[in-house]
Amino acid sequence: MNTHTQTDPQTENERLPFLRQFVGRPMDQHFSPVAKWLNGVLLSIEEGAMEVEYHVREDMCNPMGTLHGGIAATILDDIVGTMVYAMGREFGFTSVNLNCDFLNPAIVGDVLVAKSAVIRAGKNIIHVEGKLVNAHGRIIAKCTSNLIQTAFKLPAVPGQ
């Protein structure tokens, strides 16, 4: 895995320690409004990898009572985006594409773990993969995505 962050050599990546303070806690106080609504629990975050646990709620389901594909895609998009943010790059990145496969259903009450990983981190494009699995290790959905650098300069941590 090539996760070189390309940050200024004079500055340290402050985002990983900032995000690690949320490990084991619900993300209802997260800086992302979508992450607040999803309200997962951050399990781990490292350079180029992240895991978050989610509980499937009724308001996340379609009329058939299963996790809505759009919500599964939102979970995957949010976790890969947050993981890229945690890499400490000077500028923000945004999704160019998000290719999702929906492989198995999840129902209200299911506990799911979203896992993300950087596959290749170039200067302007970062290629990532995400996976959403249930408690039995069964893949509910998976994705690949490419994120591109924007001109939006990011603070070291939110609120700075």
**Which pTM was predicted?**
0.90
Cβ burial 104-126 (10 Å sphere, 16+ → b, else e): ebbeeebebbbbbbbeebeeeeb
Low-confidence stretches of the chain (pLDDT beneath 70): 1-11, 160
Could you tell me the residue ranges of all domains in the chain? 15-153
Q: Exposed, middle or buried by CB within 10 Å (0-12, 13-18, 19+), for 159?
A: exposed
Task: Provide the pLDDT for residue 160.
Answer: 66
Task: Provide the pLDDT for residue 140.
Answer: 98
**143 touches 130 (CB < 8 A):** yes
Task: Provide the pLDDT for residue 101.
Answer: 98
Task: Provide the pLDDT for residue 31.
Answer: 75
Q: Which overall architecture, per CATH, does domain 15-153 show?
A: Roll (3.10)
